[in-house]
Structure 1
């Protein structure tokens, strides 16, 4: 799995991110109880088919800033994830080494000099935030 995919998964599937998912899951539970009855098996199946579509919609509206702020509140180390790609990756529990960042830069099609890690890091942070927004994350303009 790519590094950016890992970033997406850590943020979009964070415990607090799918705020509507528990209610969707709760809605699915009562539907599965009537599904035990033979007459309602077909409607439960059609309802279950629409449930993933409903749960997919809230996942695309993840408040990236809120998720990361909550993760920071639960993290023992104070990290500057708002401007630092290294700290963002640390917060997400990902490898933040230079080689990992170079790999991420390659994934995101960085055309600059990867030996200039400061410039690459600034570009990476902005690009990751922009890609999170493009993939359905709610990212404030000051983080893009």
Structure 2
């Protein structure tokens, strides 16, 4: 199981499988229902706000991938972030600069949560 699947599970997406990356080449059968119809909405923002309020550290999941991962009781070290970035298809030019990778990764995780039926504030998806 990949790290993004772990994030989905920790946020209550149940047995949800991560939606394929936008550049995936798999084609859904013509008679298949759109994935959005089968997805129930998960209040990602509400859950993370609750976890942040209950956490003794001041963690800002809205701007920091490290803080988001900490709130989910995940390893937020560079190795884990690189693994997650690789899993989500981070461009190679961003992988060599941890700050750029972190910014890309934060946006990618929130976007993928939204794609999987998560309620993510629109201003965090821009």
Q: Same fold (TM over 0.5)?
A: yes
Residue 117 of structure 1: aligned partner: 98
Q: 2:13–2:42: 8 Å Cα contact kept in structure 1?
A: no
CA-CA distance at 1:142 after TM superposition? 1.3
Which runs of 5 or more residues in structure 2 are unaligned? 15-36
So what's the TM-score if we normalise by structure 1? Answer: 0.66
Figure out how many residues of one structure are paired with residues of the other and give that number. 102
Which structure would you say has the larger RCO, counting Cα contacts within 8 Å and 6 or more residues apart?
2
CA-CA distance at 1:129 after TM superposition? 0.3
* Residue 132 of structure 1 pairs with residue 119 of structure 2: no
Which runs of 5 or more residues in structure 1 are unaligned? 15-56
Aligned equivalents of 2:117, 2:94: Cα separation in 1? 29
CA-CA distance at 1:87 after TM superposition? 0.6
Residue 10 of structure 1: aligned partner: 10
More helix by share: 1
Larger radius of gyration, structure 1 or 2?
A: 1
Deviating 4+ runs (over 6 angstroms):
none
Q: Secondary structure at the match of 1:113?
A: helix
So what's the TM-score if we normalise by structure 2? Answer: 0.75
